[in-house]
Amino acid sequence: MVYRLALTALIVLAAGGLQAVSAEDINIAGSTTVQPLAELFGEAFEANHDGVRIIVQGGGSSVGVRSAVNGTADIGNASREVKDSEFEAYPGIVVHTVARDGIAIVTHPDVPVDGLTLEEARAIFAGRITSWSELGGPDRMITVIAREEGSGTRAAFEDMVMDEDLICAGAMLLPSNGAVRTAVSTTPDCIGFLSFGYLDDQVKAIAIDGVEATVDNASNGTYPVVRPLNMITDGEPAGMVAEFLEFALSADGQAIVEDEGYIAVR
Amino acid sequence: MTAFLCSLGFRRFRQSFAYGVLWTAATVSVAIMLFVVGYVIVRGFSDITLDFFTTSPRGGLSGEGGIYSTIVTTLYLVLVTIVIATPLGVGAAVFLVEYAQHIKSGAIQKLVSVARFGVETLAGVPSIIFGLFGYALFVTALNLGFSIIAAALAGVCLVIPVVIRTTEEALKSVPDSYREGSLSLGASRWETIRKVILPSALPGITTGVILSVGRIVSETAIFYVTLGGSYRTPTSLMSSGRTMALHVYYLAMETRAFDKAMATGAVLVALIVLLNLIINSVSKKLSAE
Amino acid sequence: MTRKNTVETVMKYVLLVSALTSITIVLMIGIFTLKEGMPAFREIGLGDLLTRTTWRPGQEQYGILAMIVGSGLVTVGAVVLGVPLALGSAIFLAEIAPQKVKAFVKPSIELLAGIPSVVYGLFGMVVLVPLVRKIPAPGNSGYGLLAASVVLAIMILPTIASVSENAIRNVPRSFREGSLAMGATRWETIRKVVLPSARSGILSAVVLGLGRALGETIAMIMVIGNSVVMPAATGGNPLTIFLSRARTLTGNIAVEIAYATGIHANALFATGVVLFVLIMLVNSSARFLISNRSYK
């Protein structure tokens, strides 16, 4: 009896599974920076398209690129430029830049330092400057927070800020922008980097070379740390996926981009 | 001096001292535990309203909303895992207890000892290894993606040893006279198992299943790498999802909504307490019989 | 061949197959993790993987020694903090607890074994990390080995306590009676007769807890800071090593697997193989201890 019940349940579940596969689902995976943006695009898109569901998962930029190609997702998100090695490995990929994003250097709100030169920022993250006293602050050790390897935000940050230097081994590593924001806002004396879309009043964004980390400064080119947010498809998109990408680049889609603190591309 | 150390008075004193240490150890242990659980429950439940159960998380990383979709995902995942793991685990236990010693073939005996080794090994594997395996095989190689079915298959690896062990215990506690009686009436071994032994072992088997439910509800690491973490309500086996335990992790790590995380944690703890109570009442019934 | 006989034979083999599920899973896990980890062993080399402390996938540097040390230290910390409490509670419950106290303490310990690890991790983040942060030491951020050890100690306490309580209770009554009859006090009996007889059972309980500690993932990610660095003491006090951040083998897999491609992913599977082997060693030593019980 128990087995018969169980079997029935399994059949019902399996039937449910089949049914939903035939429904119009767009699977999106990859970068946690693009994730909230993709979720908001999805919510707006679903409102105008009955029966379509946009399912957004995290992962990371490298996974985004890979899952677009291996079919795990219809769209792969990457919060950095696609690498040459990736173009070589997957020649069919098409890159759609849906927004641009600044990376802000952020500290715990109680850190008394408000601005750094690019050089100083590099020295802090490389572990050459270890105390806030070297920057006019109190004599307290700096806790460096960074993202794990494979993160697009980390790759873009290394490209634009670290140059040839490496992020120090003692850095606390966290698996997403959200986790970095949580840790930076709750750990005294710490410094980290964060996508513009995640800035809020519980972390302090630091000016770099005297330029405030704002969307205006990023779009007029004065803020130095800006990278593209890409959605990647395997070949030219078709059907609902094409419509979704069109929506992302439409006036409505770009309005969402600006609302969320990113930089519009149209 | 030696005389003093051997005196009954000193030995009594030493005993009182040792007892004092033991009382302290136990009190401290219980106090720590009560504090941890109490802290989560008290802080958590102060934040819980009916809305918390009936609305889904929303607003990306703002940590808004309730836990409705995570309850659905948890139920869905538990159901699929149990439906797969129970027949396999019970079947394995039945073979190991009811058939293994009646088969004389040396090859089968070897298989039996290999099978036992498998159960013991599997029980000791850390859950992240199941996650890694599930990610490699189910999510990637079999192309199931981050989905309930992929996560459930990885979860099956976690609970199968639990089901097997508890069922084995239950079967062993069925008196041999039942078996002999049924067999002497002309029933075959399988008929005996199906009609006599399994029904009388049912409470024990149920305990195993409930324990497994608890393991799935509590597990985070496996599902962190196989379930995808989307907070949408799942609609099929192929949906990505987020269990309540995973939701606690995401809330705490990603959103700073510590109060919501505590509330979800409190619900989890309450659920585990409930499952424990069910197990206790089942085993009480068992010992009463 | 009657229908009944056919059913009988078919069922026998169906059940045999399900009995082999576990070993099949074990083999598949072994094969899969090894297969995926193999390129890492080949290209990085087992020696380099195990002895290098630098883990920089971007620079193609894959050494997991820092993680092995991290896992080891946090486990040692948990054992040092948790085992005395667990054993004290076990002896208390098995030997001297009044029935009423026992009726309350025992189920609560069993209940604790079932609390999800993520709840302990959350408790660690919200309560322990800010507490640890108050210790004045340079670079102390609260996240690190100490917070992680305390969390783990609380997690393994119930397991060790209930398993060793069983071991103690299983010591035959005649042993105790003999000792008491010879004029030993209750405590002398416990210390000189009961505990030595239960030694292997207690040891295997500790090893079981050790295995759990080594395998814990989520709670560790939440409180340990995840830095890939050899833990080191600051200043003269060697205990400050526990204030440094670290990463466990389990955390390395969980944090990076979703982000990894190519040889980086292979190196994570290799981490999995190392973890698997470590835990197998620990668990089989437990099995060895149990099979060598000094009494039956």
**3-class secondary structure for B158-212?**
HHHHHHHHHHHHHHHCCCHHHHHHHHHCCCCHHHHHHHHHHHHHHHHHHHHHHHH
* Residue A178 and residue A77 in contact, taking contact as beta carbons nearer than 8 Å: no
Look at B92 and C25 and tell me if their CB atoms are within 8 Å: no
Q: What is the mean pLDDT of residues B88-98?
A: 93
Neighbors of chain C by Cβ distance (3+ pairs < 8 Å): A, B
Share of chain A above pLDDT 70, in %: 91
pLDDT at residue A21, rounded to an integer:
45
Which of B 38-67 lie inside 8 A of C, CB atoms? 39-40
Strand partners, C225: C246
For residues C70 and C48, what is the distance between their CA atoms, to the nearest angstrom?
17
Reduced to 3 states, what is the DSSP secondary structure of residue A229? strand
| Residue carrying the six token digits 């609609």 | B235
Where does the pLDDT of residue B61 fall: very low under 50, low under 70, confident under 90, or very high at 90 and above?
Answer: low
ipTM here: 0.90
Where does the pLDDT of residue A11 fall: very low under 50, low under 70, confident under 90, or very high at 90 and above?
Answer: low
Look at B60 and A36 and tell me if their CB atoms are within 8 Å: yes
Residue-wise pLDDT for C60-98, tens only, equals 889 999 999 999 999 999 999 999 999 999 999 999 899
* pLDDT over 90 (residue C240): no
Q: What is the mean pLDDT of residues C173-201?
A: 89
Residues 6+ apart with CB under 8 A from A58: A29, A30, A31, A32, A35, A176, B228, B229, C258
Give kind and range of the element (H or E) at residue A227.
strand A226-234
* Residue B261 and residue B251 in contact, taking contact as beta carbons nearer than 8 Å: yes
C-alpha radius of gyration, chain B, whole number: 24
* Residue B72 and residue B234 in contact, taking contact as beta carbons nearer than 8 Å: yes
For residues B205 and B164, what is the distance between their CA atoms, to the nearest angstrom?
9
pLDDT at residue A126, rounded to an integer:
94
Mean residue pLDDT of chain C comes to 89
**Would you mind telling me the total number of residues written for chain C in this entry?**
296
Look at C255 and A148 and tell me if their CB atoms are within 8 Å: yes
Q: Does B57 touch chain A (CB under 8 A)?
A: no
Q: At what angle do helices C145-169 and C99-112 cross, to 10 degrees?
A: 130
For residues A29 and A61, what is the distance between their CA atoms, to the nearest angstrom?
9
How many angstroms away from the CA of C255 is the closest CA of chain A?
A: 6
Using a CB-CB cut-off of 8 Å, the residues of chain B touching C18 are 87-89, 91-92, 95
Mean residue pLDDT of chain B comes to 88
From the list A150, A173, A189, the residue facing C264 with the nearest CB is A150
Reduced to 3 states, what is the DSSP secondary structure of residue A24? strand
Where does the pLDDT of residue A13 fall: very low under 50, low under 70, confident under 90, or very high at 90 and above?
Answer: low
Reduced to 3 states, what is the DSSP secondary structure of residue A231? strand
Look at C25 and B160 and tell me if their CB atoms are within 8 Å: yes
pLDDT at residue A62, rounded to an integer:
82
For residues B59 and A260, what is the distance between their CA atoms, to the nearest angstrom?
12
User: In this structure, what token pair is assigned to residue C260?
Assistant: 């990894």
For residues C247 and C53, what is the distance between their CA atoms, to the nearest angstrom?
12
**Would you mind telling me the total number of residues written for chain B in this entry?**
289
Phi and psi of A230, rounded to 5°?
A: -110, 145
Which range is least confidently modeled, A96-100, A130-134, B103-107, B153-157?
A: B103-107
Closest by Cα among C42, C123, C139 to C131: C123
Q: Does A68 touch chain C (CB under 8 A)?
A: no
Q: pTM of the prediction?
A: 0.88
Look at C56 and A63 and tell me if their CB atoms are within 8 Å: no
* pLDDT over 90 (residue B91): yes
Look at A143 and C141 and tell me if their CB atoms are within 8 Å: yes
Residues of C with CB under 8 A from a CB of A: 54, 56-59, 130, 133, 138-139, 141-143, 221, 225-229, 245, 247, 255-256, 258-261, 264
Residues 6+ apart with CB under 8 A from B170: B93, B201, B202, B203, B204, B205, B207, B208
How many angstroms away from the CA of B260 is the closest CA of chain C?
A: 11
Residue-wise pLDDT for A170-190, tens only, equals 899 988 888 899 899 989 999
pLDDT at residue A86, rounded to an integer:
86
Look at B118 and C20 and tell me if their CB atoms are within 8 Å: yes
Q: What is the mean pLDDT of residues A25-52?
A: 87
Look at A16 and B235 and tell me if their CB atoms are within 8 Å: yes
Residue-wise pLDDT for C148-176, tens only, equals 999 999 999 999 999 999 999 999 989 88
For residues B175 and B179, what is the distance between their CA atoms, to the nearest angstrom?
7
CA distances from B268 to B40, B41, B71, B208, B263 (A): 10, 10, 10, 19, 9
| Residue carrying the six token digits 């061949």 | C1
Residue-wise pLDDT for A52-73, tens only, equals 888 887 777 888 898 888 877 8
Q: What is the mean pLDDT of residues B23-29?
A: 91
Reduced to 3 states, what is the DSSP secondary structure of residue C254? helix
Using a CB-CB cut-off of 8 Å, the residues of chain B touching C276 are 125, 129
pLDDT at residue C246, rounded to an integer:
92
* pLDDT over 70 (residue A10): no
DSSP assignment letter at A82: P
Find the closest chain C residue to B30 by CA distance. C105
Q: What is the mean pLDDT of residues A118-124?
A: 94
pLDDT at residue C270, rounded to an integer:
95
* pLDDT over 50 (residue B278): yes
Look at C260 and A66 and tell me if their CB atoms are within 8 Å: no
DSSP assignment letter at C243: G
Using a CB-CB cut-off of 8 Å, the residues of chain A touching C133 are 187-188
pLDDT at residue A3, rounded to an integer:
52
Q: At what angle do helices A2-22 and B68-94 cross, to 10 degrees?
A: 130
* Residue B52 and residue B66 in contact, taking contact as beta carbons nearer than 8 Å: yes
Q: How far is CA B162 from the centre of its chain?
A: 7
* Residue A191 and residue A143 in contact, taking contact as beta carbons nearer than 8 Å: yes
For residues B85 and B209, what is the distance between their CA atoms, to the nearest angstrom?
9
pLDDT at residue A20, rounded to an integer:
45
From the list B79, B240, B254, the residue facing A9 with the nearest CB is B79
Q: Does B278 touch chain C (CB under 8 A)?
A: no
User: In this structure, what token pair is assigned to residue C82?
Assistant: 């948790």
pLDDT at residue B199, rounded to an integer:
92
DSSP codes of every residue in chain B: -HHHHHSHHHHHHHHHHHHHHHHHHHHHHHHHHHHHHHHHHHHHHTT--HHHHHS-EESGGG-EE-SHHHHHHHHHHHHHHHHHHHHHHHHHHHIIIIIGGG---HHHHHHHHHHHHHHHHHHHS-HHHHHHHHIIIIIIIT---S-HHHHHHHHHHHHHHHHHHHHHHHHHTS-HHHHHHHHHTT--HHHHIIIIIHHHHHHHHHHHHHHHHHHHHH--HHHHHHSB---SPP-STT--B--HHHHHHHIIIII--HHHHHHHHHHHHHHHHHHHHHHHHHHHHHHH-
Which of the residues C52, C134, C141 would you substitute to probe the A interface, choosing the one with the greatest number of A C-beta atoms within 10 Å? Answer: C141
Using a CB-CB cut-off of 8 Å, the residues of chain C touching B246 are 118
Residues of A with CB under 8 A from a CB of B: 3, 6, 9-10, 13-14, 16-21, 23, 27, 29, 35-36, 39-40, 53, 55-58, 70-73, 174-179, 181-182, 185-186, 198, 202
Q: What is the mean pLDDT of residues C129-140?
A: 87
Give kind and range of the element (H or E) at residue A54.
strand A52-57
Residue of higher predicted confidence among A196 and B58:
A196
Q: Does B62 touch chain A (CB under 8 A)?
A: no
Using a CB-CB cut-off of 8 Å, the residues of chain A touching C258 are 58-60, 63, 175
Q: Does A172 touch chain C (CB under 8 A)?
A: yes
* pLDDT over 90 (residue A36): no
Find the closest chain B residue to A54 by CA distance. B232
Where does the pLDDT of residue A1 fall: very low under 50, low under 70, confident under 90, or very high at 90 and above?
Answer: very low
Residues 6+ apart with CB under 8 A from C185: B11, B12, B14, B15
User: In this structure, what token pair is assigned to residue C68?
Assistant: 């092995």
pLDDT at residue C216, rounded to an integer:
94
* pLDDT over 90 (residue B109): no
pLDDT at residue B72, rounded to an integer:
94
Q: Does B127 touch chain C (CB under 8 A)?
A: yes
Number of Cβ atoms within 10 Å of the Cβ of C182? 10
For residues B279 and B270, what is the distance between their CA atoms, to the nearest angstrom?
14
Strand ranges, E, within chain C: 55-56, 61-62
Using a CB-CB cut-off of 8 Å, the residues of chain B touching C161 are 29
